[in-house]
Amino acid sequence: MIAAVAPVGALLLSVALLLMGNGLQGTLLPVRAQLEDFTSIDIGALGSSYFLGFALGCWLGPRAVKRVGHIRVFTAMVAIASTTSILHLMILTPVAWWVLRAITGFCFATLYMVIESWLNEKSSNENRGFVFSVYTIVNLSVITVGQMMLSLDSPLSFTLFGLASILVSLAAVPVAMTTASAPQPIAEVRIRPLRLFRVSPIGFMGCFAVGLANGSFWSLAPVFAQSEDGNVTMIAIFMSVAVIAGAVGQYPLGRLSDRMDRRKVIIVSCVGAALAAVSLLFVDRYWEGGLLFAVGAFGFFAFPLYAVSVAHLNDFVEPDGFVEAASGLLLVFAAGAVVGPLIASSVMRAYGVDSLFAFTAAVHFATAGYAVYRLTQRVAPPEAERVQFADSFLFAQTISTVDPLPESGLEGTTGASHLANKLEDDGR
Judged by average pLDDT, the poorest of 48-52, 69-73, 164-168, 170-174 is 69-73
Inside any domain, residue 1? no
The pLDDT tens digits for 357-399 are: 999 999 999 999 999 998 887 766 655 555 555 555 544 444 3
Answer for the pair 10, 178: CB distance below 8 angstroms, yes or no: yes
Residue 198: phi and psi, rounded to 5, are -65, -35
Average pLDDT over residues 19-31: 90
Q: Does residue 184 register a pLDDT over 80?
A: no
Average pLDDT over residues 335-352: 92
**Tally of domains within the chain:** 1
The pLDDT tens digits for 273-303 are: 999 999 998 887 777 678 899 999 999 999 8
Judged by average pLDDT, the poorest of 107-116, 191-200, 382-391 is 382-391
CATH of the domain at 83: 1.20.1250.20
Inside any domain, residue 396? yes
Residue 386 is classified by DSSP as S
Answer for the pair 310, 329: CB distance below 8 angstroms, yes or no: yes
The 10 Å CB-count burial string (b at 16+, else e) for 271-280 is bbbbbbbbbb
Please report the pLDDT score of residue 371 as a whole number.
92
* Three-state DSSP class for residue 131: helix
Judged by average pLDDT, the poorest of 198-207, 222-231, 319-328, 406-415 is 406-415
Q: Which of 301, 246, 345, 305 is nearest to 47 (CA)?
A: 345
Which amino acid is residue 264, in one-letter code? K
Q: Does residue 159 register a pLDDT over 90?
A: yes
Inside any domain, residue 246? yes
Neighbouring CB atoms inside 10 A of 152's CB total 14
Please report the pLDDT score of residue 227 as a whole number.
82
* Mean pLDDT across the chain: 80
Please report the pLDDT score of residue 366 as a whole number.
96
Residue 381 is classified by DSSP as P
Please report which residue ranges of 290-416 form alpha helices under DSSP H.
290-302, 305-314, 322-351, 355-375, 389-395
Average pLDDT over residues 3-27: 81
- Tell me which of 415 and 125 has the higher pLDDT: 125
Domain containing residue 132: 7-425
pTM over 0.95: no
* Three-state DSSP class for residue 404: strand
- Banded model confidence at residue 112, pLDDT cuts 50, 70, 90: confident
State the virtual CA torsion across 154, 158, 160, 165 in degrees, nearest 10.
Answer: 170
Query: H-helix or E-strand containing 213?
Result: helix 201-228
Q: Give CA 191 to chain center in angstroms.
A: 20
Judged by average pLDDT, the poorest of 12-21, 85-94, 126-135, 407-416 is 407-416
CA distance 127 to 62: 26
